[in-house]
Amino acid sequence: MLTYAEAVQALYRLGNESRGIQLGLDRIRLVLEHLGNPHLAFRSIHVAGTNGKGSVCAMIESALRHTGLRTGLYTSPHLVDVRERVCVGGQPVSPEQFAWAFEQVSGAVAQLEAYTDFPVRLSFFETLTAMGFLLFRELGVEWAVVEVGLGGRLDATNVLRPELSVITLVDYDHEHQLGGSIEAIAWEKGGIIKPGVPVVIGRQRREASSVLIQLALAQNCPWVDCREWQLSRLRLERDQSWFDLRGPHGKPILTDLHCPFRGEHQVDNTITAAAALWQLGLDPEAIRHGIALARWPGRLEVVRQSPLVLLDGAHNPAGMRALAAYLNRFFPGRRIWVAWGSMRDKALDEVAGILSNLATRLLLVPVDPQRGVSTAAALNHFFRDHRDVQTADSVADILGWIEQAEPTDVIVVTGSLRLVGEARALLTL
């Protein structure tokens, strides 16, 4: 049997989320069928969207788990350890379980390639998806909360037959694969909507909501439009928030709902998660309790005090606007230091514009030699006019940079979940 380290090395030889990506469902369906269709062995909630889907998944899974159900959570990408993507009962699967699942999936691929003419070699993400579904079955998961990787319609996770579909905020990202308009992106995300399966539509731009409702109608699906859910008595604090929630026509749903995540944008995510749990039939106390206990690291996560150090995985314009809104609301007049690194396939001009207005000081950090923006390119093109910008040789340089800050400064590490993960490993030692 492979060791965990050997399994991870073999997995990464298949690529990553961007390199070697394969959209389409034929390959993974064939492999899953060979494995006995593990994705049909548990009930599932399928979550797509541009921003907020990870937070919504974390809240839904927490609420289900705290009712006593055995839960699975499949998300991407990871921060530090690839096993974070496949959690059972609130914990990543063990190294031994991960290695076993990789062997099973890669063995199935090898057998199919030997006996069929169909090209079945799976990508990195397809392999992980098959591994996650196999582990959920073998470990007795009752309910799995599954986050889409890219888009929805052709994403490997879309083989599921869920009890509920959820669409969080649709915004611009991955336009090369998903289309250059909100309507086109919403159509791809809405591809997870299945005939007759209820769908919860998070608060959206009007053009996205229109597309998603049309898709629900076409599939004869009951839907919940979170724009119709009314918010009152909002208490938005630096580290958390509370509010009351009424459904359509003012029907009382929840009082004193506690959102444990930072930022006003997380209020909308909490409404989406609460609406999904309400649709599933959880009682108000179970919803309140489960959401309050949810955890989702790397999203406006405080890892140090004095100076305050925040990690945030914002990597597209919508995420960066949410980060800026949080900092402007709770730290007016404070010096904001931003350590930033990003992949090249992002809307870099818009992100740079937001950061240039936000940051007192900037540190440009290399992220990925193949996919990342070089610090030289970022300095010469995106941030050439910033008054105080430096470049780093590695993520480790963030530690020395932080030491220059005053106790009242706010340090933010952002731009990529990979950067956040590497920084988190250093800053939480």
Q: What are 293-349's pLDDT values in tens digits?
A: 999 999 999 999 999 999 999 989 999 999 999 999 999 999 999 999 998 877 788
Q: Specify whether 113 is located in the same domain as 152.
A: yes
Domain boundary among 237, 263, 292: 292
Residues 346 and 245 grouped into a single domain: no
The predicted pLDDT at position 91 comes to 98
Based on the domain organization, do 279 and 405 belong to the same domain? Answer: no
CATH number of 417's domain: 3.90.190.20
Residues 169, 166: Cα–Cα separation, whole Å: 10
| pTM (2 d.p.) | 0.95
Whether 287 and 374 share a structural domain = no
Q: Above 70 in pLDDT, residue 364?
A: yes
One domain for residues 338 and 406? yes
- In this structure, the answer to whether residues 258 and 139 fall within a common structural domain is yes
> 316 and 276, same structural domain?
no
Domain check: are 307 and 184 in the same one?
A: no
Q: Is the pLDDT of residue 20 over 70?
A: no
Helix axis angle for 26-34 and 95-115, nearest 10°, is: 110
Region 150-155: mean pLDDT is 94
Point out the domain boundary residue: 247, 268, 292. 292
Query: How far does Cα 10 stand from its chain's mean position?
Result: 24
Average pLDDT over residues 5-26: 84
Residues 228 and 321 placed together within one structural domain of the fold: no
Do 236 and 262 share a structural domain?
Answer: yes
171/226 same-domain check = yes
Rounded to the nearest 10°, the torsion over CA 148, 150, 154, 157 is -30
What residue numbers bound the domain in which 39 lies? Answer: 4-292
| Per-residue tokens: 280 | 């599933």
User: How many independent structural domains does the chain possess?
Assistant: 2
**What would the two tokens of residue 342 be?**
């990003």
The residue from 256, 275, 292 where one domain ends is 292
Only one residue has tokens 């944008």, namely: 265
The per-residue pLDDT for range 48-106, each reduced to its tens digit, is 999 999 999 999 999 999 999 999 999 999 999 999 999 999 999 999 999 999 999 99
CA 400/CA 420 separation, integer angstroms: 16
Q: What CATH number does the domain containing 133 carry?
A: 3.40.1190.10
Per the omega criterion (within 30 degrees of 0), is the bond before 307 cis? yes
- Asked whether residue 241 falls in the same domain as residue 313, the answer is no
